Chains A and B, each alone.
Chain A
């Protein structure tokens, strides 16, 4: 049986642009229209996220806890630390589950995939306190509302968010000639206080222009000076001001004077200065190129066609960073609809497509975070601000393949009594099963083995 070309196109929409087929849903008859309709169908705050507290309360809780810890005596301290660890882990796991649950239940899987893409572009990592409690709310507050807006607005939301300000050490960066630094130098000349370059560098290198796009160390330092004062309200040791746990511009920390970044002089005072720099970075052709390249790599192939990247970049520039325009250009690109499976699924993508394929709509009391740890891609823990890699070589490795087979067996063992892999296979892979896979499913000695083989098959490992 060969699939019709309409069915094959639907398979591309569902598996490459979406999160995999759910067997209880019918195939879209107009695959491009199905993707475009998701722009309106997408819910920035889906039901799965509804119960999550906001970042401000989490930050406040963290600050209060740190304060209590400093005052605790030795006997209490250990128990308090343990309690915080448990609480933080519970928060993290619950946010991972919210993320997975929205991906399972969504009527707009392409949009959810865009959320995952942007959250990885603007990666924070739970390696660092207190991100474990904040990574989910960061995605909810800074990424989800902006995926169908303008890049500049998402950039601004991300760089103002307490999770990013903590993660890239911005909250306590102090201008060397700021009022706080001058006073501190009078009171205690020994103690050094001053600039931290981390956020400025990663904005240039990772979030906007891209590495080797022509900025210098001087630009990094100047931008870091402009960013001083971008902080969080209610942090101990900083001047009071701003609502606790949310972005607060602290004028006392800000380095006074005009700044020059990438040849452009910024006379603005206060918060407006770094905002103006961010606006210019968002509008830069290098940023357009960087974003176009990453989007094309994510959806089309490890080495995306340069002509496609150019088209996406020029759409980005002409639309002044209007993201739906860029997505429309991507959906309209013939290169994106090649029937060859061009991407090796990441562990995250493989897990979601497996669960969707087996008909999961909710997680019940299951925890998905440990599964992603075992598959080598813990959620919100990429290990560096560059986020997870988006190429085959990063994920197609012997041990990781073995883990997928182990997990496929585990998934299959639970589902096999209700699912027949021989029927499910053609549903999940509408572009067709290879003869080798079809025959492996038919010859398997048990329904569970057949199902495990389907999830581990070459066609299901790729999209």
Chain B
């Protein structure tokens, strides 16, 4: 067959989409239910450093362990007598001042080893060990909510584990392909997949999401925040969203990389708040990572894999302006295995409490249903506004 490169000269010449602030473009997934509350889960893939997020500036161990990596807390936002917020989290600091941001320090899932992939599996499945549960905690949460008009909806190029499971979810992410397929082709594909259970379900979800997404957006953090808001703000739209961010694995050059990561996260949160408008008052955003990093800086201006980290609750529904959790301290004897921040609060306890309060379900019931495999899920004192 002769080469046809002339006839196809232009047809693949669309530009790559900029990745925005995160190393990999963030993704968004949504689910629908009959409630006016909104719950957003932002996963930080790569083990975000909690000691760089909510900085224990007044703990004498901090400067000693971090050395050159210790942040100049003159530039950071003081939260209280012990903690300061990373200076790049400007919008988040405003939320804190408006009492719409709450930080939980020394938090961890039940996972105690240091593999990203196993750690993310536990974080997303809500199990007590890797690969114990096949579905995700966010999907089990969807199943607890009163059903809306349709089935649950999901949006993103793939469905992350946290949202996989019995409750149906689809996915949507902005495409940079210039021409959408024509309607005739879409119809015919629908018929083509009618006999194929897997493709039929995927295609139906894709078509539904297409209808809700509106004009195409670029894949950068702020626009992803806007897109999430556009879905969540619709009266008949989804009530649960998941945003995936990555690039948090900072073994080297941590200072500049975390500043960029935080700027991107901040932009996404700000866009979400702005896009939600009045709905922000009913919204709870949980930001969490698979585990934390070593308390001490490593030899290459970064940190290695650790244990406890920080989780954030943001939103108009949050009773914010607080840093909670038992601070274990950074004294040599206080560190987990002599190297990591010691976990004192379970991430599952935080999730069960926040999600339960958000949707008006007793947190104990959420804990039992959403985390059936985890022993000792406690509920926390009130996190959201009554």
Interface residues of A (CB under 8 A from B): 23-24, 127-128, 168-169, 172-174, 176, 181, 190-198, 201, 205, 211-212, 217, 220, 359-371, 373-374, 376, 381, 383-384, 386, 393-403, 405-407, 409-410, 413-415, 418, 434, 436-437, 440, 444-445, 449, 452-453, 456-458, 461
Contact = CB atoms under 8 A, between A and B. Distances in A.
Interface string B153-181: 01111110000100000111101110111
A29 B73 CA distance: 72
Given A190-B68, A196-B299, A402 B206 contact: yes
Contacts of A456: 189, 192
A143 B246 CA distance: 27
Given A194-B299, A370-B14, A397 B157 contact: yes
B1 A198 contact: no
Contacts of A181: 299
B193 interface: yes
The DSSP consensus for interface residues of chain B is loop
B192 A440 contact: yes
B199 A401 contact: yes
Contacts of B304: 196-198, 201
Contacts of B252: 169, 172, 196
Given A196-B299, A397-B159, A384 B8 contact: no
Given A194-B299, A398-B203, A405-B181, A211 B118 contact: yes
A364 B156 contact: no
Q: How large is the interface on B (under 10, 10 to 19, 20 to 34, 35 or more residues)?
A: 35 or more
Contacts of A212: 113, 115, 118, 130
Contacts of A362: 3, 5
B5 A364 contact: yes
Contacts of A398: 154, 170-172, 202-203, 205-206, 209
B192 A401 contact: no
A173 B300 contact: yes
A401 B23 contact: no
Interface of B: 1, 3-9, 11-17, 23-24, 45-46, 67-69, 113-118, 130, 154-159, 164, 170-173, 175-177, 179-182, 184-186, 188-189, 191-196, 198-199, 202-203, 205-206, 209-210, 246-247, 249, 251-252, 297-300, 302, 304-305, 337, 339
Given A172-B300, A401-B206, 11 more contacts: A128-B23, A196-B298, A361-B1, A368-B12, A374-B175, A383-B23, A383-B45, A384-B246, A406-B177, A410-B177, A453-B192
B68 A453 contact: no
A169 B184 contact: no
A406 B175 contact: yes
B67 A192 contact: yes
A365 B118 contact: no
Contacts of B192: 436-437, 440, 453, 456-458
Nearest to B154: A398
B302 A366 contact: no
Given A394-B158, A397-B202, A205 B8 contact: no
Contact of B9 (A174, A364, A394, A399): A364
A421 to B, nearest CB: 12
A406 B251 contact: no
A449 B67 CA distance: 63
The 9 closest A-B pairs by CB, nearest first: A364-B5, A194-B299, A398-B206, A398-B205, A359-B1, A397-B158, A398-B170, A192-B67, A376-B157
A364 B184 CA distance: 31
A444 B188 contact: yes
Nearest to A228: B299
Given A399-B171, A401-B203, A409-B182, A169 B116 contact: no
Given A384-B46, A414-B4, A173 B299 contact: yes
A99 to B, nearest CB: 16
A365 B24 contact: no
Nearest to B13: A367
A440 B188 contact: yes
B52 to A, nearest CB: 16
B5 A373 contact: no
B8 A364 contact: yes
A365 B11 CA distance: 11
Contacts of A400: 157-158, 171
Nearest to B213: A399
A444 B192 CA distance: 11
Contacts of B179: 406, 409-410
A371 B12 contact: yes
Given A196-B252, A367-B13, A399-B157, A217 B173 contact: no
B193 to A, nearest CB: 7
Contacts of B1: 23-24, 359, 361
